[in-house]
Structure formats: C-alpha cells, structure tokens
Amino acid sequence: MLTQAIRTDGIESMVRRYRRGLVNSMLEYLILDNVERRDVCGYDIMSTLCVDFEVLLSPGQVYPVIDAMEESGVITKEKNGRRTSLRLTPLGRILLKAWRDELSLMQLRLSIVHPPPERVR
C-alpha cells in the first residue's frame, strides 16, 4: 500500500514537472491566446496560467517575454493609469493562427502515429 502511494506521488510530481515545462515552452503562445481573448496585463496572464494549469510563474519569467514580444511587433502595450493592457497586432493575430494550426497538425500526427488503444469490452 505504501509503495503504491509513493509511486502515485512520483507520477504526480512528474506530471506537474511536465506541465510546468509545457507552460514555459509555450509561454508566448499562451500570452497571445490570453491577449486575444480579453483585456489583460502581465499580472492577469500569470494569474490565469496559475488557475488553468496550476503553474506559478514569476514576473521575472513573464515580463521579459512580454517585452520581447512587443519588440518583435506581435503585441503592443497600452497604458491605462497604473495598468498596462496588452493588445494583439495584425502580425500577432497571424502568428497565433499559425501556431494554432501547427498545434492541430501535431495533435493529428500524434493520433495517427500513436492512436489510443482500443478498449476491450
């Protein structure tokens, strides 16, 4: 019984680490996705990712990415008092669509190469 609990805890820890890696590697995509959906600032993005994926990111992880995305022209910043809202540029919309298409293709390829096992009834 104890061995099973240790194995389960180990798997859960590995899944959390995997999820954190995915969020970090897809951070630009997740930022664009959030910016497209609603009026957000950097803090809103960190909060949303924490709730949606149970991954806590620091400002030091998120704000440099936002700054780099602004420099590359995919988002703009709009100052509203103390709040800085993020907006997609036309280039950002094109990039987000291209990334969504690529993710769909990857998911399709994975399902073709490694289809889920059939269930025995």
Give the model confidence (pLDDT) of 36-94 as tens digits: 999 999 999 999 999 999 999 999 999 999 999 999 999 999 998 999 999 999 999 99
Find where tokens 């420099």 sit: 71
Q: Is the pLDDT of residue 5 over 60?
A: no
> Rounded distance, CA 61 to CA 22, Å?
14
Catalogue all structural domains in the chain, each as residue range(s) with its CATH number.
Answer: 2-113 (1.10.10.10)
What DSSP string runs through 62-76? HHHHHHHHHHHTSEE
Does the pLDDT of residue 27 top 70, yes or no? Answer: yes
Q: What is the pTM of this model?
A: 0.82
Instruction: Note the pLDDT of residue 112.
Output: 85
Can you tell me the mean pLDDT for 112-118?
76
Amino acid at 93: R
Strands of the chain (E only): list them.
Answer: 75-80, 83-88
Output the pLDDT for position 114: 72
SS3 call for 83: strand
**Could you tell me if 41 and 85 are in contact, meaning their C-beta atoms sit under 8 angstroms apart?**
yes
Mean of the per-residue pLDDT values of the chain = 91
